[in-house]
Amino acid sequence: MTQQVKRAFKYRFHPTDEQAAELSRTFGCVRYVYNKALQERTRAWYGEQRRISYVQSSAALTQWKKTEKLAFLAEVSSVPLQQALRHLQTAFGNFAAKRAKYPRYKSRKRSRASAEYTRSAFTWRDGRLTLAKMAEPLDIRWSRHLPEGAVPSTVSVSRDSAGRWFVSLLCEDTIAPAPATDKAVGLDAGITSLVTLSTGEKIANPKHERRDRARLRRAQRELSRKAKGSANREKARRKVARVHARIADRRRDFLHKLSTRLVRENQTVVIEDLAVRNLLKNGRLARAISDASWTQLRSMLEYKCAWYGRELVVIDRWFPSSRLCGSCGTVGAKLPLNVREWTCECGAVHDRDVNAAHNILAAGLAVSACGDAVRPQRESSRTGRSSVKQEPQRATAGLPHL
């Protein structure tokens, strides 16, 4: 059964000098309005114990434009400024629901330069996009086609740190479910191999950041030698940003191809709930873990499984997948990372990653069948013995030994 989804299509474009100047002014005004509204809401709460709503912020924006000091806000389209206030309202909502930290100010150097336009602030005619305050349409590089008959409901324009311009068009799209299959796969994330499948296949880690590390090092060295505030320093900064953008683009492209393949080939995909933020505290492995980008892969699997009618099962992070014997169900002692192969008491010899992928799949199928979570207890501090041995056996009961 097909489903209608909101889908963003991102393209690169090349603005004229006039368009670039207009968009740069808009980016600055959006950042200023966001920061000023955040400052007013923070001052009102901590100084007067008073809340400011979006409606009050919008009314204040109208008054700001009438002052001589802030008259420049009226020179750009009002829609991106209103959208900035809506984004701030969303940020406060996420903070109140404890889904995020307190909203932070947008930095001119570190924050992403962007502006969002709704239907009243752009014209879409014959596949050409013209934004408010502009006389000519954007010169967009159409790398792929929009859905037939699609009309953007929202347009987001951005400029990355490398100086590249992008436009994202939010459109309604019809997604057809993928053909049904009886295959299921478990994924064990790693560094040497990006993921190991329960089929025994190991997907090599491209290590995009390591491949360009020498180029990045040279660019950063050149940047450190430039005088602060000079034009040459800005050129060197752009060069560093282009190297980072190249790494990110290659990584994203690889993960898209991998996640699409896994979703198309399997009806059920099982992964672990990794605490990547905690793993990054390991100073020796943080760089390699960041380069692997497990969180980005999980995000892609989540929305693609939802789109194409697949099931994504996430098992608990404390499940001892690596040291659980897939043959007899015994939980072995803790395994250091340098131990890639181990032998169980029953005589079975296991490849660490393949065995983990087998156990992840078995636990995921059990979770899918019973709708319960696999969360074994930690080891007992009094006895020194593991208390998780029986739990994995129960979770895999009735399943073939993989």
Rg (CA), the chain: 26
Query: What are the tokens at 26?
Result: 């808009």
Query: What are the tokens at 142?
Result: 């159409």
- E strands in 205-346: 268-272, 311-315, 341-343
Angle 138-143-145 from CA coordinates, rounded to 5°: 90
3-state secondary structure 157-172: EEECCCCCEEEEEEEE
3-state secondary structure 349-360: EEEHHHHHHHHH
Instruction: Mark whether 302 is an active-site residue.
Output: no
Catalytic residue among 22, 116, 209, 272: 272
Q: What is the helix (H) or strand (E) element at residue 297, kind and residue range? A: helix 294-307
Catalytic residue among 188, 209, 291, 391: 188
Angle 310-313-317 from CA coordinates, rounded to 5°: 155
Torsion angle of the four alpha carbons 80, 81, 85, 87, in this order, in degrees rounded to the nearest 10? 30
Instruction: Mark whether 188 is an active-site residue.
Output: yes
Catalytic residue among 116, 291, 353, 391: 353
Coil, strand, or helix at residue 28? helix
The residue with tokens 């389209």 is: 77
Contact present, 73 and 84 (Cβ < 8 Å)? no
Positions annotated as catalytic residues are: 188, 272, 353
